[in-house]
Amino acid sequence: MILFFALLFVAIAVAGFCALLIFWPLTLVHVRDRHPALSERFGAGAWMSPDALGWLLSRRYRETGDPSLTGLATPAWLSLMTIFVGLLMAGLLWLGSLVPALGG
């Protein structure tokens, strides 16, 4: 049963990845169109740029004062958090499933 729930958390992480595929490009296009200085800082490959993802994870998009950007970046941030939490919980449950096997 524990591994079932671990697999369920992996499915939740996949759902978060699907949401990230929707909202993160929309956020980056908005940044490119309305915030050129920020876009230049991220560079051309901002999709997986550590600087861009760090900007999203630290929620620095709220510093721009642009409600449209916040409206796009917040779901991207939530989806990234969903990925991390889902994979973390799946890993913890998987490790928990190994503990009884080690003791007996």
> Does the predicted model carry a pTM greater than 0.95?
no
Query: Dihedrals φ, ψ of 35, to 5°?
Result: -135, 75
Query: Residue 101: pLDDT band by 50, 70, 90 thresholds?
Result: low
Q: Which residue has the tokens 């190994």?
A: 98
Q: Is 83 helix (H, G, I), strand (E, B) or coil?
A: helix
CA distance 77 to 12: 15
Model confidence pLDDT, tens digit, residues 15-44: 999 999 999 999 999 999 999 999 999 988
Domain that holds residue 68: 2-103
Please say whether the dihedral angle defined by the alpha carbons of residues 56, 59, 61 and 63, taken in this order, is positive or negative: negative
Number of domains, the chain: 1
